[in-house]
Amino acid sequence: PTEGSPLTPVATVSRYACQRRTTLENHNKKFTDAFEVLAESYEFNNMEGPCLAFRRATSVLKSLPWAVRCLGATQDLPCLGQHTKKVIEEVLQCGRSFEVEKLLSDERYQTFKLFTSVFGVGPKTAEKWFCRGLRSFSDILTDHSIHLNRMQQSGFLHHGDISRAVSAAEARSLRSVIDGAVHCVTPAATVALTGGFHRGKEFGHDVDFIVTTPELGEEESLLPNVIDELKEQGILLYCNYQASTFDMRKLPNHHFEAMDHFAKCFLILRLESSQVEGGLHCAEGDIRGWRAVRVDLVSPPVDRYPFALLGWTGSRQFERDLRRFARVERGMLLDNHALYDKKKKEFLAASTEKDIFAHLGLEYMEPWQRNA
Ligand code: 8DG
Ligand code: MN
Ligand code: MN
């Protein structure tokens, strides 16, 4: 293919990530890295609007098959405002953005970054701790007035391991662990890799799986049984199980940030070095012979499977825009459970992800093209 120069006419770039094929090949990393710091900082300060604006801009630049080499090249791109353009200009001229540099050395930003790196700690908790004058892990762990919930306790206990990226080889090994446990309790059940590794990522912060049974209703007991099996194998280090609260009569909730209602569990598992081709992606773990890894399992009823798969494959920006596109452009409500047509006042059936794209009048995109 020809090096798509911005001087040659290019097709207009859609405002919606679900209409932009975005692979893992990012030609504009130096800009998107800067944007991500700004987005994160706005998130830490509870400023949703500017945070989303930088996330959208990041996503647009990630979708380009060419590198931005001058500000003029961004002229016809959507979702780039004055602020993002100023950052692009700085990076083009100086190789870095002063605003970003300032943030990276800012105490508040650094402390939030540190605290939210703990499993179970979000911006709200980080804020609470920061306002109390706490700045380090030892500040938190020695302050006896601080109550840590079970998730946060495990987060601190396994912080070293779970803050190391999970490799694709480790994800493959975990897949056979989960396959084994699932088939042991329900031979007819199926396991599918989803999340970042399903989009072809080489590394991730966790490994996500969807498990379901061909028999409707059987999924109710699936996760509790799988959890028991993992416990018996001695590899369950932490488990937060949430039973299903799914109600088919409810209309889809287009707010992406709302969690879905399927039965799910957030786990920390013990992964043996000997089970991973080429060893663990965690130096201390390799010496120890094992490492801790984060695993998410979700178990939708089989008739909801395509919606759950589409919702859990991500990326987060792809999901946000898919829902926004459905609502704004099609008058439809989409979430991880269902698709509802507001004009026809009816739910639209789907047995594959392709059916959902077709209902939305969108060209189908493969998971590896959803890295928005
Ligand atoms: P990473 O783990 O490699 O960092 O990237 P990822 O796989 O894309 O991110 P993720 O945080 O594991 O989320 C994967 C998808 O799961 C994402 O598109 C959002 C979706 N998701 C839901 N419901 C829930 C939920 O209840 N909790 C979490 N953590 N993710 C959910 O649709
Ligand atoms: Mn993931
Ligand atoms: Mn996950």
136-182: pLDDT as tens digits = 999 999 999 999 999 999 999 999 999 999 999 999 999 999 999 99
Domain boundaries, the chain: 17-102, 108-149, 166-308, 311-369
Surrounding residues of ion ligand 2, Cβ less than 5 A: 195-196, 204, 206, 208
Pocket-testing residue among 162, 295, 296, 318, ligand 1, by greatest number of atoms within 8 A of Cβ:
296
Query: How many residues are given for the chain?
Result: 372
**Residue 258: its pLDDT value, please?**
78
What does pTM read for this prediction? 0.95
CB of 353 shorter than 6 A to ligand 1: no
What topology does CATH give the domain 166-308? Answer: Beta Polymerase; domain 2 (3.30.460)
CATH topology identical between 17-102 and 108-149? yes
**Residue 366: its pLDDT value, please?**
98
CA distance 269 to 55: 31
Please state the ipTM of this predicted complex.
Answer: 0.94
Per-residue pLDDT reduced to its tens digit, 214-258: 999 999 999 999 999 999 999 999 999 999 999 988 899 888 777
Q: How many helices (H) and strands (E) does the chain have?
A: 16, 10
**Residue 1: its pLDDT value, please?**
44
Burial class (CB in 10 A: 0-12, 13-18, 19+), 240: middle
CATH number of 108-149: 1.10.150.20
Token pair in block for residue 47:
């400023």
Angle in degrees, CA 248, 325, 306, rounded to 5: 40
Which residue bears the tokens 């798969």? 309
**17-102: CATH, from 3.20.20.70, 3.30.830.10, 3.40.30.10, 1.10.150.110:** 1.10.150.110
Block means of pLDDT (10 residues each) for the chain, length 372 residues? 55 95 98 98 98 98 98 97 98 97 98 98 98 98 97 98 98 98 97 98 98 93 98 98 92 85 98 97 94 98 97 98 98 97 98 98 98 98
**Residue 7: its pLDDT value, please?**
61
Which residue bears the tokens 């498990």? 211
Beta bridge partners of residue 298, listed in sequence order: 210, 264
**143 annotated as ligand-binding:** no
Ligand nearest to the CA of 316: 1
Q: What is the sign, positive or negative, of the torsion defined by CA atoms of 309, 193, 25, 90?
A: positive
What topology does CATH give the domain 311-369? Answer: Beta Polymerase; domain 3 (3.30.210)
Residue from 104, 117, 102, 127 nearest 44 by CA? 127
Q: What is the sign, positive or negative, of the torsion defined by CA atoms of 118, 207, 53, 328?
A: negative
**Residue 271: its pLDDT value, please?**
98
Task: Please give the C-alpha separations between residue 3 and each of 8, 78, 174, in angstroms, as whole numbers.
Answer: 10, 21, 39
Which residue bears the tokens 């293919």? 1
Cis ω before 315 (30° cut-off from 0): yes
Task: Please give the C-alpha separations between residue 169 and each of 174, 230, 277, 343, in angstroms, as whole numbers.
Answer: 9, 20, 6, 47
Token pair in block for residue 235:
């590899």
CB of 204 shorter than 6 A to ligand 1: yes
Q: Report the b/e string of 353-370 with b at 16+ CB within 10 A.
A: bebbbebbebeebebebb
